[in-house]
A and B are shown apart, each in its own frame.
Chain A
Amino acid sequence: EVQLVESGGGLFQPGGSLRLSCAASGFTFSDHYMDWVRQTPGKGLEWVARIRNKANGYTTEYAASVKGRFTISREESKSSLYLQMNSLKTEDTAVYYCTRSPVNIGPSDFWGQGTLVSVSS
Chain B
Amino acid sequence: DIQMTQSPSSLSASVGDRVTITCRASQGIANYITWFQQKPGEAPKSLIYAASILYSGVPSRFSGSGSGTDFTLTISSLQPEDIATYYCQQYRTYPFTFGPGTKVDIK
Query: Measuring CB to CB, which residues of chain A are less than 8 angstroms from any residue of chain B?
Result: 44-47, 50, 61-64, 97, 105-114
Which residue on B lies nearest to A67, using beta carbons? B95
Whole-angstrom distance from the CB of A59 to the nearest CB of chain B?
11
A-B contact count (CB 8 A): 51
Residues in chain B within 8 A of chain A (CB atoms)? 32, 34, 42-46, 49-50, 55, 87, 89, 91, 94-98, 100-101
Distance in Å: Cβ of A22 to nearest Cβ of chain B = 12
**Interface CB pairs A-B, < 8 A, 27:** A44-B87, A45-B44, A45-B89, A45-B98, A45-B101, A46-B98, A47-B89, A47-B96, A47-B97, A50-B94, A62-B95, A63-B95, A105-B50, A106-B32, A106-B50, A106-B91, A107-B32, A107-B49, A107-B91, A108-B34, A108-B46, A111-B43, A111-B44, A111-B45, A111-B46, A113-B42, A113-B43
In the bound assembly, the distance between CA atoms of A106 and B50 in angstroms comes to 9
Given A46-B98, A63-B95, A105-B49, does the pair A97, B43 have CB atoms closer than 8 Å?
yes
Beta-carbon nearest neighbor of A100 in chain B: B46
A112, B49: Cβ atoms under 8 Å? no
